[in-house]
Amino acid sequence: MKKLIFLCMLVLCPLYSWATCSGTNSGDVSMTNLPEKILVNAGSYTAGTVLYDSGKITRAQTAFTNCQGNVYAVFAWSSNNAGALIGDNIYATSVQGIGLRVKVWLNISGEYEGDTDDFSPDSQVHYIGDVNYYLGKPTGLFDYYASTHYTPAYQLQLVATGGAIASNSQLSFSDPVATVSAKDNGGTISISRLHISGTTSIQMIPMGCIVSSNNLSFSMGSINASEFNTATKVGSARQSFDSLLRTGDQRLNASGGGASEWG
């Protein structure tokens, strides 16, 4: 009888190993190299001006599975790719006057093999550097693991931080640029990384001038009107013509010369 009770307990009370989620790096996204050159005007840029935009980069749907307990998304920069937060999700780079912002969409479906109550669908934009974001947990009778499909997408922007931009600078990033991880009761695993390679050169385009006033005065000198009367004129030109004039049923052939003068 004791053995029977013990077997029933094993069935009703599963053994928790607290393993982390499955699906390491299954949602990696790669973008083409940085542009070879970024041309910027010599002068100051307003903070927040976008200098380069990769556009939204997507990949096929994938999944992370078998998460236990509360599940959070972690949005982290890779080493040395971003400095201090400047504002509006923009982080300092190694180039003066240029910041980095990376948007990420997890596009969580909330469904996996018919199970739809562990995660809520999420298609909103997040930013690398955000605080941890709650995703879901196992829900339902005898449901001990949470799983979902997701379709990650990224968008990388180089943004002016305000003031002058350093000329003839080189900007590159360590690979991967950023990582999104899933954190549950068993630990944290990377589920998606943004890969990028290449180095971009920041080159200045000289500007003519910058005007900060609506009223500008220039000294043009003075000229007496009488000087135009004594000045040499352009002269005249003679032109011959032949024309056929019609008046009712009458015809008149006329030819002659005329002079036109410009002065």
207 vs 118, residue with greater confidence? 118
What pLDDT digit, counting tens, does each position of 72-101 carry?
999 999 988 999 999 999 999 999 999 999
pLDDT at 209: 62
Distance CA 93, CA 81 (A): 7
Angle 221-224-225 from CA coordinates, rounded to 5°:
125
Whether residue 176 has a cis bond before it, omega within 30° of 0: yes
Nearest to residue 151, comparing CAs of 189, 180, 123? 123
CATH of 21-205, one of 3.30.450, 2.40.50, 2.60.40, 1.10.3470: 2.60.40
CB atoms under 10 Å from CB of 55, counted, come to 10
Q: Tell me what the mean pLDDT of segment 169-174 comes to.
A: 89
Which sequence spans correspond to the domains of the chain?
21-205
What pLDDT digit, counting tens, does each position of 215-263 carry?
777 777 777 777 767 666 666 656 555 544 444 444 444 445 444 444 4
